[in-house]
């Protein structure tokens, strides 16, 4: 049975989450692990470790607003990938955030990207799990991510406001996908 618990500093979960964070995400997408634990002290921010029969399976880091939740990080441990844990973790997050629009962002489909197939698989995974394209991006410095949502009423202004509640989010912008040019190909993104 899949269970979730808050990550406690100094615990085995903390070590597992820190290891998985650095293994699962490229350096340009990372924030220091200490940022996650510091922010998780806030009531509206969660850093959850997931287990099945005592085995660490993955983690989620998210912030919740009154009617929207934003998943910044979701990762499944490489030892249990492709066994349905990602979908089960998303189902748990959806249950925890019932009645709220659930948001996340992913690398957009960009034919010039060296990891194009990985991007396509990741996007298909989220679409299979009930997320839909919003037609918007999250832009930060030179990085661009496609915003996906699940649930009622996506509002780009509310989404931007929620993102900017985090210290690392203060310079992020939410823009229509069609108005953003790929930094890799120089071409506009297509939804």
Q: Which residues contact 145 (CB under 8 A, 6 or more apart)?
A: 105, 106, 107, 108, 137, 138, 139
Helix H or strand E segment including 75: strand 68-76
Going from the first residue of the chain to its last (191 residues), give the mean pLDDT of each consecutive group of 10, the final group possibly shorter: 94 96 90 93 96 96 95 95 95 96 94 91 96 93 90 91 79 85 75 60
Domain ranges of the chain: 1-99, 101-191
CATH number given to 1-99 = 3.40.630.30
Q: Does pTM top 0.75 for this prediction?
A: yes
Per-residue model confidence (pLDDT) at position 84: 95
Per-residue model confidence (pLDDT) at position 19: 97
Per-residue model confidence (pLDDT) at position 191: 60
Per-residue model confidence (pLDDT) at position 170: 63
Per-residue model confidence (pLDDT) at position 60: 98
């Amino acid at each position: 049975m899949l269970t979730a618990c808050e990550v406690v500093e100094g615990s085995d979960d903390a070590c597992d989450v820190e290891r998985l964070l650095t293994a699962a995400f490229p350096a340009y997408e990372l924030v220091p692990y200490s940022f996650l634990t510091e922010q998780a002290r806030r009531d509206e921010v969660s850093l959850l470790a997931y287990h099945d029969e005592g085995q660490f399976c993955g983690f989620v880091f998210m912030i919740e607003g009154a009617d929207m939740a934003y998943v910044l990080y979701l990762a499944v441990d490489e030892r249990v990938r492709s066994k349905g844990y990602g979908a089960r973790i998303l189902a748990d997050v959806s249950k925890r955030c019932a009645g709220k629009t659930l948001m996340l962002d992913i690398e957009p489909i960009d034919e010039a990207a060296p990891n194009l197939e990985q991007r396509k698989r990741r996007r298909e995974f989220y679409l299979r799990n009930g997320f839909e394209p919003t037609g918007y991006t999250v832009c930060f410095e030179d990085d661009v991510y496609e915003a996906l949502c699940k649930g009622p009423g996506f509002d780009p202004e509310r989404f931007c406001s929620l993102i900017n509640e985090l210290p690392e989010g203060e310079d992020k912008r939410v823009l229509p996908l069609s108005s953003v040019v790929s930094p890799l190909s120089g071409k506009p993104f297509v939804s």
